[in-house]
Every structure is written in structure tokens, then in C-alpha cells.
Amino acid sequence: MTKTERITWLDETRIETEIAATAAGADKLRVREILDKAATLGGLSEDDVAVLCAVTDPDLAAELFHTAETVKTEIYGPRIVLFAPLYFSNICLNECVYCAFRRSNKELDRKILTMEEIEAETAALIDQGHKRLLLIGGEAFPKTGFQYLIDAIEHIYSVKRGRGEIRRINVNVAPLETDEFRRLKATGIGTYQLFQETYNRKVYEQMHPSGAKADFDWRVSVMDRAMAAGIDDVGIGPLFGLHDWRFEVLATMQHIAHLEDAFGVGPHTISVPRMEPAFGSDVSMAPPYAVSDFDFRKIIAILRIAVPYTGIILSTRENPEMRREAFRLGVSQISGGSRTNPGGYATPVEEQAAQFTRGDHRPLDEVVRDIAASGCVPSFCTACYRMGRTGADFMDLAKPGLIREMCGPNALSSFMEYMLDYGSEETCAAGEQAVAAEVATMEPKIARYSQTMMRKVREGKRDVYR
């Protein structure tokens, strides 16, 4: 696909019609039929999702949230996967009006990390206890061009700190050519992630007036190129606050349907970033379509039951209270101890160079302790990508529930590794209780696997997985 070819799978007229058809509110009987359907773990249609987006009645919303919690527990159990973003640069050639990194923002302190600085950032993340990270930056590479990204990945994987290392790198960078995606895959990355920001063409043009990102079709077709190049796992999502959240959710459903039709499998993850204040951006201070906490909970719950086998990611944009609620409603991955400015881990400074304002400023250990205390299991597992359980192969295991036989034990062994090597006394106390509670709920065979793997970790072995 060239940069000028218009994609055909996005039907904005249909979305607007669906929203208009439910303007009077959601019919209770219809909503409950949809929730019953969702409870079978088979997912929902775009029409179903349109109905759920219209739910405003508190009692119906409570039923929606309960269904989402049930679906999440059935498929994912109590696991919450942790990662951190590593920003390699805040230099950008685009003019996204809501972003601190935009080219015209002269007040931002600009920086692009050297390979030595990337290694220092990696070391700082490893010392926190992280095992996976998201490599991310503005749309501009130094003179070495795309090779900079390839080199950065190699340097990150090379860093060892005692028993610690980064075992999986996910990547969020500007749209690439198919050949570049092939090179990216060869480095051993996990998921390629990119946000469409908004699926509404008119709003997109207003929010991205110049730079390569102004090309709507080049961006919205990026996952086709990534998957055609052999990257099995991709991550999508809009930026909630640029346009009507109902439109964005329904357009996300169309994007998912397109990927399933074209490649046999949809996205591995969906992110749900909500617009937060960004240094030097008036638009970010007053989002055009600000999303209330109530509607944000609905977004998470609807996506969880609509695409039950797709991971949902929540960043540190949200405060600890909302993140805690999101665990229950369907979020399966979160960032922890994050910084959104290049160099922010090795040399913590005021975030004058950050992309957006964080809502959760807690260090990783406190985040981990909070997860464990809430009845969930923090997971640092990276096994699926190294065992080849990606794309359609992952879904073949996930849909019949077989993936839990791997994910449950892997979560516990990776969490045990964190507690022994990095956890504070308070976190270890909460963690041991969470581990015992989880083992008690497992089938005997899975519990034995888990106990054997954790025993190996206690005896000194690391990176124990199945």
C-alpha cells in the first residue's frame, strides 16, 4: 500500500448511524441479551458494542462491569503483567497539537539518547526489577536513520545486571515500510504497537496538520505492513479525548475485524490512553472530547467482553485508584515506575522533557505491592514470545483456555523472582499472601507445576518458565 492509497475497511458512516440509532439510550432487554452472549467468551459484534456504548443507567452499567470482571477472571485470572516505557527521544518532525513532543514546541528540552545512555536507562530499569520494556520515541531518528532503532534494541538486550536482564522489548515507533518491519522482527522484538490517535479523518487532519503523521491512510494501514512482514503480535488503540469515545471504540472494532479478515488474527493488545496535560499544549489541557471516569470504566469493560482474548493495556496516565479499578474491569497489562522523558530513569529530573503528565508517580515496588494487596498477581513473564506462542498460535491456546496452564505458573515464578531479587520486605509479605491465595485456587496439576517452578527460583535458578 502506498502513502496515497485510501483504506476501505473503515466505515465512518456506519459508525455515525450506529451512534444515532442508540441516541435514545440502551434497551435493557437487549443489553442483557448481549451480556449473556458475552459471558460465553465468544466476543461481540460491532452492533452489540454500539448498544453497550449507549448504557447510561447505573444498574445496567453495574451489570456490564460485573460481566467484564467475570470474563477477565475466566480468561486471565488475577494476573497483571508489568512493563516500563523507555523513551529514546523526544525529537519529532510532526505537529500533533495535543503532544508535548510536537515540532513547534520551542519550550521543550530536546534530547535523543546515545547508545551508552540507552544502556544506562536499561540498567536503571533492570535494577527496578523490570523484565520487559516498550521502546518509544518521537518520529525522528539521528543520522544513522532506522539503523539507530536496530542498534538500540541490540544494546538493550546486551545489558546484564547481576541476575537481571530485559527479556522482551516491545516497540512503539512511527509507521515503517514492510522491509523495515522485516528487519525489526529479526531483532527479536515482541509486539509492535502504534496508536491511531483518532479514526475520524476530519478530526485527524485537524489534530495533525503537518509532518509525516498527517497522512491518515499511511498510519492506519501500518499494522497491515507489520503483519505482512511477519510480526505476529501488534498493538492498537486510539487516544481517548480527541473525538467521541463511542466513535473510537466502534472504529477500533472495525480495525480488529479488518485484521482478522486479512491475517486470521486480530491485535494482541489494545491500549486505552486517555488524554492528559502535555507541556506546552493548550489542547491537552482541555480535551475536545474529555472522557469521564464513568465512561472510561465503560470503555475498558466493553472492550474486555467484546474481544476477550486481547490484552488491554493501561499506562501511568491514570492515577492509582483508577488503575486499581481497571484491574477488575479488564486491564491485563500496566506500566509501572514509568518516566516519559528520555533519560528519565538513569538521571531523574523534573519532567520538562516528558510527553505527558503522569497520574501514577509511584516506584515499581509500590505498584507491585499494591497489585498483590488488591488480590492480583504481578507478572513479569515473557515466555510466550520465546516459546513461539504468538499470533494465531497464541489464540489457538487462549480460546479453549489452555494458555492459563502456562500463564498461571509463569506469572508466579516470575513474581517470585522479583520478590527475591528486588522486592522490599513489605512487598514480599503482600506477595507471599497473593501467591498462596492463587495456588490455592489452581487445579492440582497446575498448582504442582507452579510450586515446582517457584522452588527452582528459590533455589537460585532464574528465568523459569514453560
345-404 tens-digit pLDDT: 998 765 555 555 678 889 999 999 999 999 999 999 998 877 777 777 777 777 766 677
| 315 and 405 both lie in a single domain | no
| 199 and 341 both lie in a single domain | yes
Indicate whether 154 belongs to any domain. Answer: yes
| 332 and 413 both lie in a single domain | no
Determine contact, residues 286/278, Cβ cutoff 8 Å.
no
Task: Identify the burial level of 104 via C-beta atoms within 10 angstroms of its C-beta, where 0-12 means exposed, 13-18 middle and 19 or more buried.
Answer: exposed
pLDDT at 359: 83
Indicate whether 210 belongs to any domain. Answer: yes
pLDDT at 356: 57
Indicate whether 62 belongs to any domain. Answer: no
Please tell me the distance from the alpha carbon of residue 167 to that of residue 11, in angstroms, as a whole number.
39
pLDDT at 352: 57
Indicate whether 29 belongs to any domain. Answer: no
Indicate whether 425 belongs to any domain. Answer: yes
Per-residue pLDDT reduced to its tens digit, 186-208: 999 999 999 999 999 999 999 99
Beta bridge partners of 137: 89
| 225 and 288 both lie in a single domain | yes
Please tell me the distance from the alpha carbon of residue 34 to that of residue 60, in angstroms, as a whole number.
12
| 265 and 235 both lie in a single domain | yes
pLDDT at 434: 97
Q: How many alpha carbons lie under 13 Å from residue 362 in its C-beta half-sphere?
A: 19
| 317 and 406 both lie in a single domain | no
pLDDT at 398: 73
Indicate whether 259 belongs to any domain. Answer: yes
Indicate whether 466 belongs to any domain. Answer: no
| 411 and 369 both lie in a single domain | no
Indicate whether 274 belongs to any domain. Answer: yes
| 144 and 256 both lie in a single domain | yes
Per-residue pLDDT reduced to its tens digit, 176-186: 999 999 999 99
Q: Is the dihedral of CA 217, 219, 225, 231 positive or negative?
A: negative
| 117 and 204 both lie in a single domain | yes
Domain-ending residue, one of 355, 382, 409:
382
| 215 and 141 both lie in a single domain | yes
Domain-ending residue, one of 350, 382, 414:
382
Quote the pTM value: 0.95
Residue range(s) defining the domain that contains residue 310 = 73-382
| 405 and 324 both lie in a single domain | no
Supply the CATH number for residue 326's domain: 3.20.20.70
Please tell me the distance from the alpha carbon of residue 313 to that of residue 281, in angstroms, as a whole number.
25
Number of domains into which the chain is organized:
2
Per-residue pLDDT reduced to its tens digit, 66-83: 999 999 999 989 999 999
| 446 and 371 both lie in a single domain | no
Amino acid identity of residue 317, one-letter, is R
Instruction: Kindly state the cell numbers that stand for 366.
Output: 509500590
With a cut of 50, which residues of the chain have pLDDT below it?
A: 1-2
